[in-house]
């Protein structure tokens, strides 16, 4: 179950965002499930720190500085756990992307006889570049396996192609024949990109949840780190040797 919307947390961290990415469908959902789980963990972690900050403000024993320090202690623990979950998901998605890419770029094997393959390649090589590109793409769109594999199942120069265009057309052929793989790759790569663009929000949202202390006299703002250092310095005086 996905968490309820919490207005205190950036909407970009809500796991529902993954469901609105391109190529996300019921069939591709299982391949990006780890990302939804990771964002759920992050979203709930940030919300829990907001809750802790509110609870700390009700503690009659702690002054505001202590409230921030204690809340920040919790935030750091939550960040460590959430960051590991995010990293694990991104690593998994990266591996899935590489595996699918490998399948979609694997070499083709000619289905035509040797003599026919040679004739097809010679015919296409004699064309002008634009005509050659159009011919190959029409063969791909029509599902003409004999023609396509004769052209792309041999070194690129035999058909008048360079390495780059040869690879592009091999990829087009695989995507044409394996649309489910192409959709899966698009969903995985889109999700990986989304996590990469938004993972930094974990730290900024946690910082916002913890907050800062503002000196009522000077207006100076103190971070939890500064408060913690000041606390250490003041406590050290009690242990100083004469």
Claim to verify: residue 207 and residue 147 sit in the same structural domain: no
How much is the average pLDDT of 94-101?
Answer: 97
Strand partners, 213: 222
Claim to verify: residue 139 and residue 121 sit in the same structural domain: yes
Claim to verify: residue 198 and residue 133 sit in the same structural domain: no
Cβ-proximal residues to 174 (8 Å cutoff; 6+ apart), any chain:
103, 104, 105, 106, 181, 182
Claim to verify: residue 95 and residue 138 sit in the same structural domain: no
Claim to verify: residue 141 and residue 203 sit in the same structural domain: no
pLDDT digits (tens, 9 = 90+) for 64-92: 999 999 999 999 999 999 999 999 999 99
Claim to verify: residue 99 and residue 164 sit in the same structural domain: no
CA–CA distance, 167 with 186 (Å, rounded to integer)? 18
Structure confidence at residue 89 (pLDDT): 98
CA angle 67, 6, 211 (to 5 degrees): 25
Is residue 85 domain-resident?
Answer: yes
Greater pLDDT, 225 or 195:
195
Structure confidence at residue 229 (pLDDT): 87
pLDDT digits (tens, 9 = 90+) for 125-156: 999 999 999 999 999 999 999 999 999 999 99
User: The domain containing residue 25 runs over which residues?
Assistant: 11-106+181-234
Residue 242 has pLDDT above 60, yes or no: no
Residue 231 has pLDDT above 90, yes or no: no
Q: How many residues belong to the chain?
A: 242
CA–CA distance, 150 with 173 (Å, rounded to integer)? 12
Claim to verify: residue 59 and residue 152 sit in the same structural domain: no
Claim to verify: residue 72 and residue 21 sit in the same structural domain: yes
Claim to verify: residue 163 and residue 224 sit in the same structural domain: no
What angle separates helix 163-177 from helix 64-104, to the nearest 10 degrees? 100
Is residue 209 domain-resident?
Answer: yes
Using a pLDDT cut of 70, give the percent of the chain over it. 99
Claim to verify: residue 147 and residue 172 sit in the same structural domain: yes
| Helices marked H in the chain | 33-56, 64-104, 114-125, 129-141, 145-152, 163-177, 179-198, 201-210, 224-236
Claim to verify: residue 55 and residue 134 sit in the same structural domain: no
Claim to verify: residue 185 and residue 85 sit in the same structural domain: yes
Structure confidence at residue 240 (pLDDT): 67
Cα→Cα distances 226→63, 217, 229, 232, Å: 15, 17, 5, 10
Q: What confidence tier does 108 reach under pLDDT thresholds 50, 70, 90?
A: very high
Is residue 225 domain-resident?
Answer: yes
Is residue 242 domain-resident?
Answer: no
Q: How many domains does the chain have?
A: 2
Is residue 5 domain-resident?
Answer: no
């Amino acid at each position: 179950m996905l968490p309820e919307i919490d207005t205190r947390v950036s909407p970009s961290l809500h796991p529902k965002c993954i469901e609105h990415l391109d190529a996300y469908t019921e069939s591709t959902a299982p391949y990006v499930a780890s990302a939804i789980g990771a964002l759920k963990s992050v979203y709930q972690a940030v919300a829990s720190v907001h809750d802790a900050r509110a609870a700390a403000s009700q503690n009659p024993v702690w002054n505001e500085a202590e409230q921030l320090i204690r809340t920040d202690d919790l935030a750091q623990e939550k960040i460590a756990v959430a960051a590991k979950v995010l990293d694990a998901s991104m690593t998994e998605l990266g591996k899935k992307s590489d595996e699918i890419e490998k399948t979609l770029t694997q070499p083709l094997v000619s289905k035509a006889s040797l003599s026919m393959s040679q004739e097809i390649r010679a015919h296409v090589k004699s064309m002008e570049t634009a005509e050659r590109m159009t011919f190959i793409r029409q063969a791909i769109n029509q599902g003409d396996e004999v023609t396509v594999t004769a052209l792309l199942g041999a070194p690129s120069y035999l058909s008048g192609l360079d390495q780059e265009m040869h690879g592009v057309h091999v990829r087009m052929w695989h995507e044409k024949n394996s649309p489910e793989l192409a959709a899966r790759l698009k969903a995985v790569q889109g999700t990986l990109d989304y996590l990469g663009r938004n993972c930094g929000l974990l730290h900024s949202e946690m910082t916002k949840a913890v907050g800062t202390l503002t000196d009522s006299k000077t207006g100076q703002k103190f971070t939890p780190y500064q408060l913690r250092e000041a606390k250490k310095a003041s406590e050290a005086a009690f242990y100083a040797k004469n």
